[in-house]
Amino acid sequence: MPVVAALAVRLTLGKRDAFVRHHATEALNAQIWFGIVWNGVGLPFFAYAIASGSPDPTLFVAVWLLMFGLFIATAVMSVIGAVRAFRGRWWRYPMTPFRFVRGAAGRSSDG
């Protein structure tokens, strides 16, 4: 759902304002990256764990904690990005190694 919200803002208000487009694009890229990692790593592991019948509990808990940590990190970064945008500061998500959608300004984080 966050992907839909970021995309909607980018396609509406982002067409008129470069600042809004930048932050909507950054949010969209972060959500896409989260979705790829969550669905590409977490879901296959949990499907394997369920199909195998008795997975190693230590590994199961470790992967679950890693996926939960990724969820929390994405949520925290989204809140930080929203606060920075509200305060009029340019900001980029530090945990997004690839930008799938172009349109964000080339500005860096300003602390």
Is the Cβ–Cβ distance between 31 and 6 less than 8 Å?
yes
Tokens of 22: 């930048």
Vertex 32: Cα angle to 39 and 25 (nearest 5): 170
**Its pTM surpasses 0.95:** no
Does 72 have pLDDT greater than 90? yes
Query: Element (H or E) spanning 3, and its range?
Result: helix 2-11
Question: Residue 33: what residue type?
Answer: W
Is the Cβ–Cβ distance between 102 and 54 less than 8 Å?
no
Q: Which range, 10-14, 28-32, 45-49, 95-99, is most confident?
A: 28-32
pLDDT in tens, 16-68: 888 988 888 888 888 889 888 888 887 888 788 778 776 677 877 888 888 89
pLDDT at 54: 66
Does 106 have pLDDT greater than 80? no
d(CA 41, CA 27): 21
